[in-house]
Structure 1
Amino acid sequence: MTDSGGPGRKLGLAMCVALVMGNMIGSGVFLLPASLAPFGWNAVAGWALTIAGALALAAVLARLTVAFPEAGGPTGFVERAFGRVPSFMIGWAYWISVWTANVTLAVAAVSFLSVFVPELADHMAITTIALIWIVTAINWRGARAAGRFQIVTLAVKLVPLAVVIALIPIAFASSRPVALTPFPAEGLSWTTVSASAIFTLWALLGFESASVAADKVDRPAITIPRATMIGTLATGLLYLIVCSAIILMLPADAVAKSNAPFSLFVERYWSHEPALFVAAFAAVSALGTLNGWTLVQAELPAALARQGLLPAWFARENRHGTPANALILSSAIATVCVLLNASQSTSEMFNAMLVLSTSVTLWLYLACAGAALRLGVATPVAALGLIYAVWTLWGAGLVVSAMSLILMAAGLPLYGWTRMRSAPARRE
């Protein structure tokens, strides 16, 4: 095992912002308007509340990083406030959500690419597994190799978002009228706004990415807070503008039934040919997000191992400073997950990702907000973040919350085994 290296091997501000935004802007945003279309203007309100809540939680993580730079990220904050068992449960469940989401991202990327190479769809499982291991190979070369790849893919994935934003004023300036969805006469519905929040938060998952990879960040106490706030705010505003335009400037029924809402918008306000390229950009978006989360899926169990919550085996690094064992094991589990779910459709796997990733990550956010309150860090903002996390978890439903709790408890036997193995060493 080698040392992680000096600043030359670590992630700077630009790479951290790319990691945060790249992990947030994934394949889901290209399908999200279809899920939000039935909510109409209530979804716009849901976006506003979600962005505010995400910024509050991002600020909490940023302040915790400044206050406890040696903690090593969210699980370290939870351990300081509540102890080792809650820290392990949060970290374990979050790790599960990451590699599960990676499976879906890989499937989505292959699905988008099959528009141009139809043969890929005939061998979905094999192609998906190949993509997972290609991205694993990129991350094997170290955090900076993954960071450079993330910057390139982020630049490409922003193109379709920029196209939609550019088409908005062009559409209103043209002679062809825009059939804007009218504001509901009865006003907004709090229940409906709450129901839309689980979808909007799902699209913003990932603002904690820089904190999770704290050990690979140059000057983390400065870089992580800046990257977290910049990335969260920029992504939230992009989503608010783009998704609101698509669901309000197109017929709700058409958007809800569409497998490619972005393409539908571009075709309606531009032409058919440019709309075809949205699939290519969506594939790059999914690939870039897969790359960023692959970095996280290796760093997270390694951080747990360094805290003594998982066996030290998970933290062993290769000569590039990558937690190689954690990386390979995570991708191997993802491969098994692909094989077990080979018969499912892309939409079914997306639904599974939304339910699992959002619910489990909500517990992480709730725990970090609670940790900040207990440790006396950014108390007013932490209180707002805690209220937002509870509100969104309530909107997700009892079944989802119970599922995430079961996932947390599932890793306790491994935690107990780790503690038993380390007990003799502590007594010596």
Structure 2
Amino acid sequence: MTSPAPPVAAPPPAERSLSLAMCIALVMGNMIGSGVFLLPAALAPYGWNAVAGWALTIAGAIALAYTLARLTVARPDANGPAGFVDIAFGKVPSFLIGWSYWVSIWTANVTLAVAAVSYLSAFAPEIGRTPYVPALLAVALVWAVTLVNLGGARSAGMFQLATTLLKLVPLAVVLAIMAVLIATRGGEALAPFPAEGLKAGAVTASAALTLWALLGFESASVVAAKVENPQRNIPRATLIGTLLTGIIYLVICSGVALMLPAETVAGSDAPFQVFVAHYWAAGPALTIALFAAISAIGTLNGWVLLQGEMPLAMARRGLLPAWFGKTRANGTPTRALIVSSVLASLFVLVNSSRSMSDLFSYMALLSTSATLWLYLACAAAALKLRVAVPVAALGAAYAVWTLYGAGLGVSGLSLLLMAAGLPLYWWARRSAAPQQPAE
């Protein structure tokens, strides 16, 4: 019998370069991406039921975010969400959850790159009409953002802070228009509340759709090794970022869906542009497309940062080969970043025959389902470790409910992808074992 391989040494304090403001920007930037600009169209048919769906999703996200925040304070040695699972349940469950989350990250990056190219095609319509050009541009965008992250967490954090501020501009414009409409028209500016009341099925369906937009509240916990004063800053960034993003989504997405005819919003590929054009002018509406692209690119930057940090953290816990744990002098996990971007690029090219909208929808649903397993496992870890038990129980129940709502087919596929990583785990443990003295 041999002892397990030791993890790669933890990073020195000099690598902790993400401030509280950068962590909040990372959380909000990773949550406010392409979803906010597309969701009103998907939610329009549900009307006021979608408002209730948002409320349930926000409550569930805050419960899970609070659970992660309390786990970070209680077990700072875990160095991220998968580390909580390791402490509670052991190496194999931790690897499965970490692997599934890594898959969810680079599949989300495919989605975001495709969305950004789609928004930019408003300025060059021939992009969407030329075969393979959208896929090649999406790949180029993935690598451009990867180069930013190869410069280190500090440069990625500054880029994230700048793009987060820029992506708030179109949200502020829409919010200002809504405020004027409410002030001048009152309740008449909104679609009437249905006489028959809310329907449970419609609320459940709309809540499942909204979850994609709120993925990412765990971002600060994932990069815990890079955060200044993590026990203080990670909980604050997680809760502040989640609450602010939830309020923004609830007000703006619901407002766009309820202040325009449902058939107009539902039939649009760019509901924000339709809203601004309807209540303002076509010129400012076109500008929204540019800010939507900036939003997607900023979110892509945050997730590319995570796609390098996740394999790095797993390697440092001995769950992946030590090769993934090698970093540059500034702490950048170059190898993990490059491998992740290669996988994302290959996936774009293999699926280049799909339409942009089909690829976006498919990858968004798959990424959501894969991420839910992490949320459920962290809630279960909190219950076992007796951390924030009542809230963790609510978070676990919400995760199970949403996995069911995502559909058995997609949730089953995410389980298969999770199991597909086991051979790599066994190979990593086996290859490290001979280096250890026998007991």
Q: Which deviations, in whole Å up to 9, do the C-alpha atoms of 1:362-387 show, x marking residues without a partner?
A: 11101100000000001111011111
How far apart are residue 180 of structure 1 and its match? 2.4
Q: Following the alignment from structure 2 to structure 1, what is the Cα–Cα distance between the partners of residues 275 and 195?
A: 26
In 1, distance between residues paired with 2:12 and 2:261?
54
Q: 1:4 offset after TM fit, Å?
A: 4.7
Counterpart in 1 of 2:405?
395
Measure, in 2, the Cα distance between the counterparts of 1:401 and 1:150. 31
Indicate whether 1:413 and 2:423 are aligned. yes
Deviations 1:315-352 (A, max 9, x none): 11012211110000001111111111112112111111
Please say if 1:25 is aligned against 2:41: no
Matched, 1:11 2:18: yes
One-letter amino acid of the counterpart of residue 304, structure 1: M
Is the CA contact 1:19–1:210 (under 8 Å) kept in the aligned structure 2?
A: yes
Asked if 1:129 corresponds to 2:139, the answer is yes
C-alpha offsets along residues 167-195 of structure 1, whole Å, 9 cap, x if unaligned? 11212344799552221222111121111
8 A Cα contact 2:50 2:206, kept in partner: yes
Partner of 1:86: 93
CA-CA distance at 1:423 after TM superposition = 1.7
Number of the residue aligned with 1:51: 58
Count how many residue pairs are aligned between Structure 1 and Structure 2: 428
Change (3 A) 1:358 1:8: closer
Quick one: which amino acid aligns to residue 29 of structure 2? Answer: G
Mapped pair 1:318 → 2:325: no
Return 215-224 or 232-241, whichever deviates more.
Answer: 215-224
Q: Over residues 28-76 of structure 1, what are the superposed CA-to-partner deviations in whole Å (9 max), with x where a residue is unaligned?
A: 2101111111111111001001111100100000000001111011100
Residue aligned with 2:332, SS: coil
Mapped pair 1:167 → 2:177: yes
**Is 1:71 aligned to residue 93 of structure 2?**
no
Q: Which moved more, 1:285-294 or 1:399-408?
A: 399-408
Give the conservation status (yes or no) of the 8 Å contact 1:2–1:321. no
Unpaired runs of at least 5, structure 2: 1-7
State the AA in 2 paired with 1:228: T
Distance 1:223 1:233 in 2: 15
Distance 2:102 2:328 in 1: 21
Alpha-carbon separation, structure 2, partners of 1:106 and 1:217: 26
Alignment counterpart, residue 278 of structure 1, candidates 288, 305, 308: 288
The Cα RMSD (Å) is 1.7
1:102 aligns with 2:109: yes
For residue 117 of structure 1, give the secondary structure of its aligned residue in structure 2.
coil
1:237 aligns with 2:247: yes
| Per-residue CA distance 1:67-123 (angstroms, 9 max, x = gap) | 111101110000111111111111111111111111121111122112223454432
Any residues of structure 2 matched to 1:205-220 within 5 Å, and which? 205-220=215-230
Task: Name the amino acid aligned to 2:302.
Answer: G
- The 1-side partners of 2:233 and 2:156 are apart by 17
Taking only the aligned residue pairs, the percentage that are identical comes to 64
- For 2:285 and 2:92, locate their aligned partners in 1 and report how far apart those are by CA, in whole Å: 50
* Equivalent residue number for residue 368 of structure 1: 378
1:311: Cα distance to partner?
0.5
The amino acid across from 2:177 in the alignment is: L
Whether contact under 8 Å (1:3, 1:321) holds in the other structure is no
Counting only pairs closer than 5 Å after superposition, residues 176-187 of structure 1 correspond to structure 2 as 178=188, 180-187=190-197
Residues 2 and 319 in structure 1, CA contact (< 8 A), matched pair in contact too: no
Q: Please list, as runs of the form range in 1=range in 2, the aligned pairs for 1:263-302 lying within 5 A after superposition.
A: 263-302=273-312
The structure 1 residue matched to 2:159, chosen from 149, 153, 159, is 149
TM-score, normalisation: structure 2: 0.94
Q: Is the 8 A contact 1:120 1:127 kept in 2?
A: no
Greater displacement, 341-350 / 116-125:
116-125
Shift in Å, 1:313: 0.7
| Aligned-partner SS, 2:60 | helix
CA-CA distance at 1:5 after TM superposition: 5.1
> CA offset at residue 354 of structure 1?
2.2
